[in-house]
A = this chain, B = another copy of it.
Amino acid sequence: MASDRPLRMGMVGGGPGAFIGDVHRKASRMDGVIVTVAGAFSRSAEQSRATGKQLMLDPARVYPSHQEMIEKEQKLPPGERIDIVAVTTPNNSHFPIAKLALESGFHVMCEKPMTFTSQEARDLVAVVKKTGKVFGLMHNYTGYPMVKLARDMVRGGDIGEIRKIVVQYPQGWLSTPLEATGQVQASWRVDPGQSGVAGAIGDIGTHCENLAEYITGLKITQVCADITTFVAGRRLDDDGNCLLHFNNGARGILHVSQIAVGEENALAIRIYGTKLSLEWHQEHPNALHVKDQNGPEKIYRRGNGYVAEKSAAAARATRLPSGHPEAFLEAFANVYCNFADTVRAVQAGVKPDPLALDFPNVDDGLRGMLFIETVIASGKSSDKWTNMPV
């Protein structure tokens, strides 16, 4: 998608102590197609200014609130004002910010989980539809090239019919009451007022759900969940184990934890088909393991011609030759690249490249919210199976 300038982004959130806002900035900047030029980085005007200064932004475009950012940027000339609003705040404010931005004419890239409730998610689907603006949801793990290869192998029929999916996301960082120390990341994640009805299930369970559905194209239909809060005094779940049913009859296991001592960010998925099986580990993202009952295991590695032959999406999401590892930031940036290409197409009034549409969107966000609420409901139910709404 040719262009004569990078897209301009204004960020909400991402102030001092934030983690994901800085990741959005680095990832969106990496390829030179997006620049952060404005921001309402904190509910504290002072902290917002401090972040703006650190980012070497024009102080005039560092705002004390997202409302002011949206209002003032709207008034700037088209050649100057932001194109995109990035929403990187805690979950409870995603919806109002995204809604206002979309309705004010901006495209939106939003952190996951998309909203605070599934009702907000349904409303946001409508807003996106009504405004026609581009909405991206940062399920960054689908940005990994080998995840795209996995999806394209499934789509291409390589693995046959899917019978079983095992997806996990164990972490150990909340194995103690870290929130009691005032640590910023921990504090809002364990606060129902900011996170919503779920803790681990919302924060990382949604990544599992999204990864499984993205790769397989299947939908979870039923959930049986065992939800636990291990750390005394914590109000949201820090561990969750689920049995899953998928719409093709496949069985699944999904387990997440924030109290799995010594685990870092061990998201992994195994997909068992009738012909072949796939295995991918986020901490070793450059490899996709393909297992065969009748031949040796194969390790597909990013950056090779034989990957490109199977997956144009994987090739497109690759910057470096094989053996030069790519990782988290590059996957994150891949979501931004496709999002940006789609924004440019919409701005130019042309149809986006189908490959550019490969980024998580508002419908994926709704799935995530339905998943959260279904799992939490199942966790409280004595019925074995709880249906997931469509």
Binding site for B on A (CB under 8 A): 3-6, 19, 22-23, 25-26, 29-32, 55-56, 163-164, 166, 168, 170-173, 175-176, 224, 226, 228, 230, 239, 241, 243, 245, 251-253, 255, 257, 259-266, 270, 272-277, 282-286, 290-301, 303-306, 319-330, 381-385
Contact = CB atoms under 8 A, between A and B. Distances in A.
B298 A298 contact: yes
Contact of A323 (B19, B241, B243, B264): B264
Q: Which interface residue of A265, A290, A297 has the most chain B CB atoms within 10 A? A: A297
A326 B266 CA distance: 14
A297 B299 contact: yes
Contacts of A325: 282-285, 325, 327-328
Given A321-B19, A329-B319, A164 B259 contact: yes
Contact of A265 (B55, B230, B323): B323
A113 B344 CA distance: 40
A265 B297 contact: no
Given A31-B26, A226-B243, A291 B262 contact: yes
B328 A320 contact: yes
A277 B297 contact: no
Contact of A266 (B19, B32, B276, B323): B323
B253 A241 contact: yes
Contacts of A175: 274, 293
